[in-house]
Structure 1
Amino acid sequence: MTRLLQALLLMLTSACALAAPAATDNAPILEGERFNPELGRHGMVATSNRQATRIAHRVLAEGGNAVDAAVTAGFALAVTQPRSGNIGGGGFMLISDEESGDVIAIDYREKAPSGAFRTMFQDDDGNVVAQRSRFSANASGVPGTVAGLALALRRYGTLSLAEALEPAIDLARNGFEVVPRFSEGLRQAADRLKQWEATRKTFYKSDGSLYQPGDRFRQPELAETLQRIADHGAEEFYRGRTADLLVNTIQAHGGIMTREDLARYQPVIRQPVHGNYRGYDIYSMGPPSSGGVHIIQILNTIEGDDIGAMGFNSAATIHLMSEAMSRAYADRSKYLGDPDFVDVPVGALTSKAYARALREQIDPRHATPASDIGPGNPGRYESNETTHFSVADDSGLAVSNTYTLNFSYGSGLTVAGAGFLLNNEMDDFSSKPGVPNAYGLMGGEANAIEGNKRMLSSMSPTIVKHDGRNFLITGSPGGSRIITTTLEVISNVIDHHMNVQSAVSAPRFHDQWLPDEIRIEQGISPDTVRLLKGMGHRVVKKDAMGASQSILIRADGTLAGGADPRRSTSSAMGL
């Protein structure tokens, strides 16, 4: 059976997103021998933006590998999705290579400026002033995206950085058609964004009005910034004119970041955390992400129960998983931080023995009050607006990438003359141990603010392997809900045998210890809610959680993409 027939059958039988690009999108991205359509790869791309998906898809079609496509998508998203795509933020990338058997993690998380100190967001009385860590010039960590994507491309791709940047430069210079989500996001954030002159000039019309759906949106300053990086390499961002513009903007608004902070920044290649769940190997991001550790911890805790037999989103399943989630988030508050600064007990937290001890604490019929849960003792067992995208090719290379500005549009501050927004990741530190951040997450000493330290993250790019083969590439945005969203996609596929589109579309739930509640999406049965309340849970219905862009690879090599309907611009595309 040909790959095309396999893809058509897959569309009909599993409702997964598999599509070819529209005829108007078939022009080659780049010219030259490196991009010969006859050398094109079969592959799958799932991102939160149709433009980025199409561009990455064409990279595969013209001979690039999964890393080439992922990096190209990352830069394209920095143009087309400014609320979360970025060159002014940071993130994590997992790369799995079946040929070598290696799975590596690239940590390009932002770092605190060298002048940062633990009480910098407190007033004279020691109270946290939230606006300082979220919407000021000091809210930004040193950005890592440009360095991280360039490192991935240099080590594992086949394109030059200039080639990977070319589609993004074209989109910034010549513009793209505004879609409703783009316009609506800027409308919702207008009061916050228009406070900054450079942001107002970049993202709104000269009279202050919105770009409407159908308008063409151009970003000439961003185009010039991307062109400088293409011409001079990633170093330009950290040591060249772009660095000058970035530091000048921050210091003009009272920030402490310096040219030396930018010049010192380096991404880090780390070992991912690794666990095993029902015979599947789970690889995810380790510290300074808490995501991978706690995904594995929660899976270990529920592994002894037959989740499939208990039923998808049944009261029994949600109860057990929420109890496991709550204990993991309690541990997060004490033990997780930047491994270059604190000793994180990863081995203990992800051990099967520790999980069994946690499982023994769970009453299958009654909720445990949050006040009775606290960080465990793993030592004895020692041995919100973000975007995620997934890419896989037919050579056995898979990429799971999550990067962010933190809030939608980050701090809201645009670098004057450079055209890109800055992150507000400093809010991910514990501004004061024991005081929750914007996502309600508690933090402790391990995540206290220090100069040159990476702030703790929940981003959880994840790759699941089976019998040595890439099986599921997944991850999500969503702040504190990233961990549970990614966890549930994995469980939906492995425990409930869902196709990937069903797995990412299914209603979700979330428990992060504090506040003491199970948060649910619309679609959870009222009968289930009633049973959970009878067990002693407080259940609250809130907005949709996460936006998982995932890929499942079947044993016969067929690739299925799941684009999350929670984002109207999400798309998956394969060939």
Structure 2
Amino acid sequence: MRLRTTVLAAWMVLVLTRSGEARPPAPDAPPRAATVAENGMVVCVSPIAADIGVEILKQGGTAVDAAVAVALAEAVTFPEAGNIGGGGFMLVQPPKGAEPTLFDYREKAPKASTPEMLASPTSWATPKAVGVPGTLRGLELAHQKYGKLPWKTLVEPAVRLARDGFPVSQALADGLNIVVQSKPNNPLFRQTFGKNGKGEWQAGDRFIQPDLAKTLTRVMEQGASEFYTGETAKLLAAEMQRSGGLITLEDLANYQAKQRTPIRSSYRGYEIISTPPPSAGGITLSLALNILETFPKAEHPRFSAETIHRMAESMKIAYSERAKYLGDPDFNSIPEHLTRKEHAEKLAKLIRPNAAIRSEALAPELNIPPESPSTTHFSIIDKDGMAVSNTYTLERSYGARIVVPGAGFLLNNEMTDFNIYPGVTDRTGKIGTMPNRIQPNKRMLSSMTPTILRKDGKVVLIVGSPGGRTITNTVMNIIVSVVDYDMEIQAAVASPRVHHQWLPNEIRMESLAKFPLEAQRLRAIGHQLTGHNQGDAHSIWVDPKTGKYHGASDHRIEGKAAGY
């Protein structure tokens, strides 16, 4: 790449899961080297799924074909977040500069939902927290528009993995042991993901999921509609009726994915293409970058107090606007000015060099009194330059931890992504504003931010991340590192990240202990700081000179960049 920036090599190695449990780091977790290829690249959390995606590309499949195969393979090999019982967003940049598009397969609230149904600290673990899944409808719609290979070809690898099993990695073994030891309420969950009384999982053990294999076989042979109107739908609806959940056969039959126009903006000469509502990601990212763009490029070092201050204040302002205005566009009118440069220029004037903004001052009308993120992202590009940035989720780690009897798949707990405490917005981070309150058939607001950058009409960066409300800011950190500081993509993915989400009013920073002087200066101007860990961002950079693909998997978790 251009100037190769030196970054710190030793980061914090304990990454937290969305449930607050320790997610084990990948073995030998220092930053990795980028993988370089000419014809195609897949970067994702599951090495097995990455290899499957590359095989699909080698067979002449498009990036969308590979995305379908990778998503379904991760439903088997990365059960923490890979799924058919959840939902997400797929951003597609067709080849030769054609117009980009977004496939919205976010879950929806069941018809019987009510605004205050989840106003409880333990609401994530109840069957009522399950939203109508969207993953298979979304993959199906994207495949219909941009796929070349037969649907069965794309589903078959996942069927084989579930039916015949696969060797468990150390990272997966540790994750399964932790979640089973947490004693989830659902007995079938413990049976499905435990080792059936044979002790703890060890690396190399074979993980077989026969009920999931049967479900995937039905989907392979009958198409995605089987999940929504066939035997699988009946099994899901029966579990909801048995356990007190709200999803009915009518809810499943009525679910449809949507094709939407992406959010488009610019940052220092690069075109930013990202996710529209019901994801808050694209608008929040665009606004934060527009604010940051009012300051000179790379005026201070990347990890200086001045740069961190400006980034955090830009994030803080953008997240306050997010809370006030964003929700499902089918239920809300989203202001057009949020992504305009002049709006950002006005907001940027709130940022002072020697004083942090009080979060309360950004939304006095809310009268403030004194997303668990089990998600995964993958990036793909094919030989023709079609790019896919896909983020999908179960919400919490392993979702609601409910396995559908006879079907073998996990259900999400996405209903908790609504503002479940109507009217309550406080300093702890609860948001109770109207645009994202629970309503029947409404899609909950998301932080997922699959993003593609173009320069002169050509793809240069494919990026995204898990991490709940941190997702958008993870993407922002990588964009700033690449665009403003000319970081090589692997260094940009590996480097420490800064996060501010408006409420609570604090900067969360990776490797905080390694920046004592910067932390001291930031605290002196009114910032509260805390150390934390942010999600893995599996990314691809395209060298504009050679056209080669540079795949960067993230050392924060097991993952792989595979190309050919």
TM over 0.5: same fold? yes
* 1:211, distance to aligned residue in structure 2 (A): 2.3
Secondary structure of 2:487's counterpart equals coil
Structure 1 residues 182-331: aligned runs within 5 Å: 182-192=172-182, 194-207=184-197, 209-331=199-321
Identify if the C-alpha distance between structure 1 residues 42 and 107 changes in structure 2 by more than 3 Å, giving closer, same or farther: same
The one-letter amino acid of 1:273's match is: I
Greater Cα offset, 524-533 or 260-269: 524-533
Give the corresponding residue for 1:491. 480
* 1:439, distance to aligned residue in structure 2 (A): 9.3
Task: Give distance in 2, aligned partners of 1:419 and 1:205.
Answer: 15
* 1:373, distance to aligned residue in structure 2 (A): 2.1
* 1:437, distance to aligned residue in structure 2 (A): 11
| Structure 2 gaps, min length 5 | 1-30, 367-372
Give the corresponding residue for 2:363. 374
Query: Given the alignment, which residue of 106, 113, 117 partners 1:116?
Result: 113
Tell whether the 8 Å contact from 2:287 to 2:339 is kept in structure 1 after alignment.
yes
Task: Give distance in 1, aligned partners of 2:167 and 2:448.
Answer: 30
Give the corresponding residue for 1:79. 76
Task: Give distance in 1, aligned partners of 2:406 and 2:362.
Answer: 50
Give the corresponding residue for 1:49. 46
* 1:334, distance to aligned residue in structure 2 (A): 1.4
Secondary structure of 2:387's counterpart equals strand
Give the corresponding residue for 1:67. 64
Residue 563 (structure 1) aligned with residue 563 (structure 2): no
Cα distance per residue 1:50-74 (max 9 Å; x no partner): 1111110111122212111111100
Could you list the structure 1 runs, at least 4 aligned residues long, displaced by more than 3 angstroms after superposition.
191-194, 434-441
Identify if the C-alpha distance between structure 1 residues 375 and 344 changes in structure 2 by more than 3 Å, giving closer, same or farther: farther
Task: Give distance in 2, aligned partners of 1:533 and 1:525.
Answer: 12
Kindly report the root-mean-square deviation, in angstroms, between the aligned alpha carbons of the 2 structures: 1.9
* 1:143, distance to aligned residue in structure 2 (A): 0.2
Give the corresponding residue for 2:148. 158
Give the corresponding residue for 1:5. none
* 1:436, distance to aligned residue in structure 2 (A): 6.2
Q: Which has the higher contact order (CA 8 A, sep 6+)?
A: 2
Identify if the C-alpha distance between structure 1 residues 328 and 433 changes in structure 2 by more than 3 Å, giving closer, same or farther: farther
Aligned pairs, number: 526
Secondary structure of 1:354's counterpart equals helix
Greater Cα offset, 460-469 or 41-50: 41-50
Give the corresponding residue for 1:106. 103
Residue 93 (structure 1) aligned with residue 103 (structure 2): no
Identify if the C-alpha distance between structure 1 residues 367 and 437 changes in structure 2 by more than 3 Å, giving closer, same or farther: closer
Task: Give distance in 1, aligned partners of 2:363 and 2:383.
Answer: 45
The one-letter amino acid of 1:135's match is: A
Tell whether the 8 Å contact from 2:177 to 2:194 is kept in structure 1 after alignment.
no
Cα distance per residue 1:393-429 (max 9 Å; x no partner): 1202000000000010000001111001000000000
Identify if the C-alpha distance between structure 1 residues 43 and 329 changes in structure 2 by more than 3 Å, giving closer, same or farther: same
Tell whether the 8 Å contact from 2:88 to 2:393 is kept in structure 1 after alignment.
yes
Query: Given the alignment, which residue of 547, 550, 553 partners 2:539?
Result: 550
Cα distance per residue 1:359-405 (max 9 Å; x no partner): 0111011111222222899xxxxxx1100000011202000000000
Query: Given the alignment, which residue of 513, 537, 545 partners 2:527?
Result: 537
The one-letter amino acid of 1:409's match is: Y
Residue 404 (structure 1) aligned with residue 404 (structure 2): no
Give the corresponding residue for 1:350. 339
Tell whether the 8 Å contact from 2:105 to 2:138 is kept in structure 1 after alignment.
yes
| Structure 1 gaps, min length 5 | 1-13, 21-40, 122-127, 378-383
Cα distance per residue 1:50-108 (max 9 Å; x no partner): 11111101111222121111111000000000000000000000000132521000000
Cα distance per residue 1:508-546 (max 9 Å; x no partner): 11111111110011165111111111111111112x201
TM-score (norm 1): 0.89
The one-letter amino acid of 1:352's match is: K
Residue 17 (structure 1) aligned with residue 14 (structure 2): no
Cα distance per residue 1:83-142 (max 9 Å; x no partner): 000000000000001325210000000000011011212xxxxxx21212x011111100
* 1:356, distance to aligned residue in structure 2 (A): 0.5
Residue 138 (structure 1) aligned with residue 128 (structure 2): yes
The alignment-based identity, stated in percent, is 45
* 1:208, distance to aligned residue in structure 2 (A): 7.0
